[in-house]
Amino acid sequence: QAVMGVQVVLSLLAASVMQKLAPHCSFARWLLCNGSLHRYKHPSDEELCALAGKQRPKGKRANGTADEKPLSVPRDIDLHLDTCPITAVDALVLRYFLEYQWFVDFALYATVVYGITEGYYCLADPQKETNIGVLWCLLTVVFSVKVFFTVMRHYFRSEEGGERSVCLTFAFFFLLLAMVALVVREDYLEFGLEPGLASVCSSLESALRPRGWDWTLPLAKLGFKLALVALCSFLGACLTFPGLRLAQTHLDALHDAAHEPLAQVLLHAGFLAPVIIVVMWVKPLSRDFVLHAPMGKQTVQL
């Protein structure tokens, strides 16, 4: 019998490959620096002076050093900026680029590990092994929340209070939304929260009742729900500005694909895909309509 299973060996191999290849081959770096994105070149002072019809100002010498005067040009000059593809050197100066690169690469390796693990489960059908691929997925979720929290903390530390107010407003909004979702019965929103809590409480009751601590079960249930609501509010605040940026990017992509109907359909489908997934939690739609869709006098399963 092997000391380490197939999944442990696969996880160690993926971690080693990710560490060795990250400085040389990065999927996240390729996404930004494959030549599809361009930046504008900054014009030189000579070009600005030539377009403005001025000579470069020369400062007076004081104590043997030249005092350079700032260059001022009119705003209405006919300036055409050249473009060039973004390179890795250009991307390194971007804020949070290293965090972005590490997270995207980790998510890619986690997807590969999860896919191979699921294939291993389908072929070998191991009964006593824990699915480590799920652990990689959970780590991806945790690291994504960490990245969102880092961005939100940057907005909170800004001198202007507008971003902070927007984050707090959306945090309270998602707090109310989470409380409403918890109030709705399981007949309409299929979260599986109440059956799960009932099963856990029944298991804990048998252990706490002999010690006289069974009175803590309602408090523990209430505390878990409050913690869940607080977590939803925190995630809502973290996703505020990324959601606004995603909406603006979607509008820009639609503007660029104004004459491509197929591209617009695909963009709308990708933008509305999370909404469709959320709607699937509604039990009348997911259970009654999808599993028993009316088709004439019969019902079919979609």
Instruction: Tell me what pLDDT residue 296 has.
Output: 63
> Taking the model in full, what pTM does it have?
0.74
- What single string gives the DSSP state of each residue in 218-267? HHHHHHHHHHHHHHHHHHHHHTHHHHHHHHHHHHHHHHHTTT-HHHHHHH
pLDDT under 70: residue ranges of the chain: 1-4, 54-71, 290-302
- N residues, the chain: 302
Instruction: Give the distance from CA 256 to its chain's centroid.
Output: 24
Which are the contacts of 247, defined by CB distance < 8 A and separation ≥ 6? none
H-only helix segments in the chain: 6-21, 27-33, 45-52, 88-92, 97-124, 132-156, 162-183, 193-208, 216-238, 240-256, 261-279, 283
Which residues sit opposite 189 in a β-bridge? 282
Residue pair 129/118 in contact (Cβ under 8 Å)? The answer is no
pLDDT at 293: 66
Instruction: Note the pLDDT of residue 77.
Output: 76
Helices 132-156/216-238 angle, 10° precision: 60
Dist CA 9 CA 136 (whole Å)? 14
Residues 6+ apart with CB under 8 A from 109: 14, 15, 17, 18, 136
What is the distance between the alpha carbons of residues 204 and 200, in angstroms, rounded to a whole number? Answer: 6
For position 68, what pLDDT does the model report? 61
The CA-atom distances, in angstroms, between 55 and each of 44, 49, 52, 62, 118 are 13, 6, 9, 21, 69
> Which sequence spans correspond to the domains of the chain?
1-42+78-157, 160-238, 239-302
> How far, in Å, CA of 269 to CA of 115, rounded?
24
pLDDT score, position 65? 55
The pLDDT, as a whole number, for residue 248 is 93
- Encode pLDDT of 204-245 as tens digits: 777 777 777 777 777 888 888 899 999 999 999 888 888 888
